[in-house]
Amino acid sequence: MAKSLYEYNNYKTFVNEWLAQAPNQGHGLRKKLASAMNCQTAYVSHVFSGNYNLSPEQAYKCCQWLNLDSEETEYFLLLVNYQRAGSKELERYYLQQIKQLRTDHVNIKKRSNIKESLSIEDQYTYYSHWAYGAIHMAVTIHGLQTVEALHDHFNFSIGFIQKALNFLESCNLVAKEKNLYKIGGAFIHLERNSLLMSKHHSNWRIRALEAINENSNENLHYSGVMSMSEEDFENLREKIIGYLKEIFTTVKDSKEETLVSLCMDWFKV
């Protein structure tokens, strides 16, 4: 399983290992990272294999390129400041902040009961098809908590539904109470730098294409190409992130009545 950013004390080690786990061992990614940070590829190599350090501005652009969230970005920037510190006193100050953020992160995971022990084999099974995640979430909905109901809803074979439920139950992701399946005591969490992240995204985009062909008036699909300024691109990106946070806040307290999928892409062509 890919390590979390919070397990690292050195930002260079994190980036190097992230690149090493990427397809083709990150071939060509250093050049893309250099472009994102507006510097030369040779400089990136000097930083991540030598004694040079990123500037705060470069570090922030690196976080954006790595697609780190706000909490991860804060932690990454602290690691950079720690490496850049010019005195032991300042090192101790940043190290204390690093330890505090790491502790806060661990406590949040404990409260969320995120399952850390899911084996790599189980991860590959879970992300092998969108159905596993869909069935996992479907059992939160009253009326979709039996094998027969799930079969009718998804139109998968009874055998596949039972196989998926058995797997989810073995991972404590669902639990069976009499004849009903309900959400289990554990959650699966995929780190942003996991090699399975691309599989996860592609699974649901495949399902989105299937939904387009269903031609339902209830569904909303949009695809388009447009040109705009760099500034507007970044501003709209931040608005999309803000809207996503609003969606997650709404979903958290929303009654489980229907199963939906959100696939959103905002990227340069």
Do 145 and 259 touch, CB atoms closer than 8 A? no
Inform me whether the pLDDT recorded for 188 exceeds 50. Answer: yes
Q: What is the pLDDT of residue 58?
A: 95
Across 54-78, average pLDDT:
92
Instruction: Please give the tally of structural domains in the chain.
Output: 1
SS3 content of the chain, % helix, strand, coil (to 5): 60, 5, 35
Inform me whether the pLDDT recorded for 50 exceeds 80. Answer: yes
Inform me whether the pLDDT recorded for 171 exceeds 60. Answer: yes
Q: What is the pLDDT of residue 98?
A: 92
Residues 6+ apart with CB under 8 A from 127: 133, 190, 196, 199, 200, 203
Tens-place pLDDT, residues 207-219: 999 999 888 888 8
Q: Tokens 């030369």, residue?
A: 40
Q: What is the pLDDT of residue 107?
A: 67
User: 82 vs 269, which has greater pLDDT?
Assistant: 82
| Angle between helices 130-138 and 147-154 in degrees, nearest 10 | 130
Q: Measured between alpha carbons, how far is 146 from 213 in angstroms, rounded to an integer?
A: 28
Categorize the per-residue pLDDT at 200 as very low, low, confident or very high, splitting at 50, 70 and 90: very high
Q: Which of 18-32, 55-69, 79-93 has the lowest mean pLDDT?
A: 18-32
At position 114, the amino acid (one-letter code) is I
What does pTM read for this prediction?
A: 0.57
At position 232, the amino acid (one-letter code) is D
Inform me whether the pLDDT recorded for 1 exceeds 70. Answer: no
Residue 15 counted as domain residue: yes
The first and second tokens of residue 256, run together, are 């489980």
Residue 106 counted as domain residue: yes
Q: What is the pLDDT of residue 104?
A: 81
Residue 87 counted as domain residue: yes
Ramachandran quadrant class, 178 (left: phi over 0; alpha: psi -120 to 50; beta: rest): left
Across 126-135, average pLDDT:
94
Tens-place pLDDT, residues 69-87: 888 899 999 999 999 999 9
The first and second tokens of residue 121, run together, are 């084999």
Percent of the chain with pLDDT over 70: 93
Structural domain boundaries, residue 38: 5-112
Across 128-153, average pLDDT:
94
Do 195 and 2 touch, CB atoms closer than 8 A? yes
Residue 100 counted as domain residue: yes
Q: Using alpha carbons, select from 24, 190, 18 the residue that is nearest to residue 120.
A: 190
b/e per residue, 33-51, with b = 16+ CB within 10 A? bbeebebeeeebeebbeee
Residue 243 counted as domain residue: no
Residue 201 counted as domain residue: no
Q: Measured between alpha carbons, how far is 66 from 192 in angstroms, rounded to an integer?
A: 8
The helix (H) or strand (E) run that includes residue 93 is helix 88-112
Residue 70 counted as domain residue: yes
Residue 95 counted as domain residue: yes
Average pLDDT over all residues of the chain = 88
